[in-house]
Amino acid sequence: MPNDRPPSTAERAAAAVREQERAERRRQFLIVGAVVAVLLLIGGLTAFAIGRGDPTGEALDASSTPANTDGYAVVVGDADAPVTMRFYEDPQCPICQQFEAAVGEQVQTAISEGKVQVAYHVVSFLDDRSENEYSSRAANALYVVADAAGPDVFAKYHALLFENQPAEGTAGPDDDQLIAWAVEAGADEEAVRAGIEDKVFEQFVTNATDQMSKDGVNGTPGVFIDGEMQPDPGTAVNAVLQAIQ
């Protein structure tokens, strides 16, 4: 005869634990799969954008080159700092946002203490992931702030933009909001409004993105520490934090 005895309390508890373990394994699998998919998407978009770019770029004169830049980067920190870093970032890139959330505050502290100098290469290849070309508008705005207010204000503005990064596929902040954050970071509104609204450094952003591939960077965030490229964002986070201890 079949055993019609209802399961005991211990049996029910064991079954619940087994189901919880299965659910946790499914959750971990989905998380890993999602992270891998995002990394592949970002890498693919980067390769596509770089591949279609003009390999030479349009020539830039003095008026189309922001002040306080060096080699398509804004350099923040003491020139005599014992550690140097280079970050290649797209303002719309979600992996860049995660990277900045993990290291941004510590890096800014290390900069203020003279421990590290960082060259920020702001690039743009994710306009099609926004309803209003946020990627290139934000990149241009960052260079406008660097030009008008200098590297220290740029660094504060950079942090604000990544803290408030819009979700992919949505409309990013409009120009008035970009200007408001620039003022919050310490820039003068009259000094940045026209440059942000007119995208005065649009070609500079294009050339900076072209230069990214020439520098051997095929995905964002691209991170160099003392001239050595880090192989992936996860490795870069740990390496950056160790370098500025």
pLDDT tens, residue by residue, 33-58: 444 444 444 444 444 344 334 444 67
pLDDT at 6: 59
pTM over 0.85: no
2 C-beta neighbours (distance < 10 Å), count: 4
Q: Is 240 exposed, middle or buried (0-12, 13-18, 19+ CB in 10 A)?
A: buried
pLDDT in tens, the chain (245 residues): 445 555 565 555 555 545 555 555 445 444 444 444 444 444 444 443 443 344 446 778 767 899 999 999 999 999 999 999 999 999 999 999 999 999 999 999 999 999 999 999 999 999 999 999 999 999 999 999 999 999 999 999 999 999 999 999 999 999 999 999 999 999 999 999 999 999 999 999 999 999 999 999 999 999 999 999 999 999 999 999 999 98
Name 223's bridge partners: 87
pLDDT at 34: 44
The CATH number of 62-243, from 3.40.50.2300, 3.40.50.1360, 3.30.70.1520, 3.40.30.10, is 3.40.30.10
Q: Residue 147 corresponds to which tokens in the numbers above?
A: 């030009």
Q: What distance in Å separates the CA atoms of residue 93 and residue 54, rounded to the nearest whole number? A: 21
pLDDT at 58: 75
Residue the block writes with tokens 């490795």 = 235
